Amino acid sequence: MTFTRTLLADDHALVRTGLRDALASLSGIEIVGEVGNGIELMDAVLSLKPDLLVMDVNMPDFEPVAAVKRMLAVHPSLKVLVVSAYDDQSYVVGLLSAGVNGYHLKDQPLSDFQLAVERVLGGGRWISGPLVDRLVGYHATAASEASPLTRRQRELLFLLTQGYNNQKIALAMNLSVKTVENHLTALYRAIGVESRLEANNYANSHPELLLSIEQEQLMKMPEAQVAGSLTVLVVDDNPRFRMQVGKMVSRAHPASSIYEADNIAGAVRLAEQVKPRLALIDVILDDEDGIQCVRDMKKISAATRIILISAYPDREFRRMGLSAGAIAFLDKKDIDAAVIRQVVEDTLAN
């Protein structure tokens, strides 16, 4: 088995212990070193040549933006995940521009940190949910200046991330396949890419371009248009997690139509309009109650199979959720491609 050589950098030993314990539950991670200041960090990167660096930005003798640039210059394959309490927009943007692969806030759930590590190691980028809204204005302005996208191009980019082929995009957008091909050419030119894969990578690096689409999801292909399709609603206040679950569902059943909501009102509106066959709902939706969301959805879409999910698998949550109408309760840390595939298969069988 190949292990990911991982270096931890934080000036608080207790924090490093917490990070080490969190990483222990992920397979294939090997902690090769721990440091507590900028000088030690640079020496460790040069001597240990880690695959992954998990670092704070507030350490003695450390200027993070310059240090990241120096480390990547000498070790370009290094993956860097920042874990910090700092959420200043300019600070975050500076580090992302310097080349870090992810920025995770320390006050977010442990399961999110583990998702962040998996995401970065998988070649993607990670930004903690609370940071995304703050960065939307900045990135949207930058994107509009560098490569302005029309609403149709944003819709097209969103559908590409869902794995739609040209025929499925044509049905979803009510266009001819030839017109879709023309729009794809224009989209590629606008964002400076040459292929579907590069467009997907661009979307992963610029999630803010997809956020506005979450409120326009009814443009997706109705279930009746594709034989054997599955309509799925994911309700969670973390856009990264919603996207990750959506991609796993699409891989398990490519003919899926996936909708997203981050609060009860949005979930209920979508449930009224699309009557999802399957719904995955987080127990805690910012300051709202996901169990109440289950009750409200069951009133308007009784046939929907609802699964509650939570980073805090409390026994009482499980009892209340099943009483409200959920058919199962899943711990977020247990959700992976195999679990989602089983959920999809069970839904299709019922």
Q: In this structure, what CATH number is given to the domain that contains residue 202?
A: 1.10.10.10
Domain that holds residue 184: 144-212
pLDDT band at 210 (very low <50, low <70, confident <90, very high): low
pLDDT at 213: 44
pLDDT at 286 exceeding the cut of 80: no
Q: How far apart are CA 184 and CA 187, in angstroms?
A: 5
Distance CA 186, CA 172 (A): 18
Q: Last residue of a domain, which of 168, 193, 212?
A: 212
> Model confidence over 15-53: pLDDT tens digits?
899 899 999 989 999 999 999 999 999 999 999 999 999
Between helix 13-24 and helix 110-121 the angle, nearest 10°, is 70
What is d(CA 264, CA 292) in angstroms, rounded to the nearest whole number?
8
Nearest-angstrom CA–CA distance, 58 and 38: 9
Pull the structure tokens for residue 29. Answer: 């991670």
Give the residue from 194, 212, 230 where a domain finishes: 212
What is the pLDDT of the chain when averaged over all its residues? 83
Q: Listing from the earlier edge strand, what are the strands of the sheet with 278-282?
A: 256-261, 230-235, 278-282, 305-310, 328-331
If you average pLDDT over residues 143-164, what whole number do you get?
71
Global pTM reads 0.43
In a domain? residue 136: no
pLDDT at position 221 over 70: no
- Number of domains, the chain: 3
Q: For 79-117, write each residue's pLDDT tens digit.
A: 999 998 877 766 687 788 888 999 998 888 888 899 999
Q: Kindly state whether residues 165 and 259 are assigned to the same domain.
A: no
Q: 237 with 340, same domain?
A: yes
Q: Among all chains, which residue has been given the structure tokens 């977010």?
A: 108
pLDDT at residue 136 in the model: 56
How confident is the model over 266-273, as a mean pLDDT? 85
CATH at 123: 3.40.50.2300
pLDDT (tens digit per residue) in 50-67:
999 999 988 888 888 889
- Domain membership flag for residue 338: yes
Give the integer Cα–Cα distance in Å for 250 and 80.
28
* Percent of all residues in the chain with a pLDDT value above 90, rounded to a whole number: 32
Q: Do 334 and 244 share a structural domain?
A: yes
What distance, in Å, lies between the first and last C-alpha atoms of the chain? 38
What is residue 307's three-state secondary structure?
A: strand
* Residues 278, 343 contacting (CB under 8 angstroms): yes
Burial 236-251 (b: 16+ CB within 10 A, else e): bbbbbbbbbbbbbbbe
Residues 35 and 85 in one domain: yes
Question: Is 122 found in the same domain as 178?
Answer: no
What's the pLDDT band for 146 if we cut at 50, 70, 90? very low
Same domain flag for 11 and 106: yes
Residues 206 and 234 in one domain: no
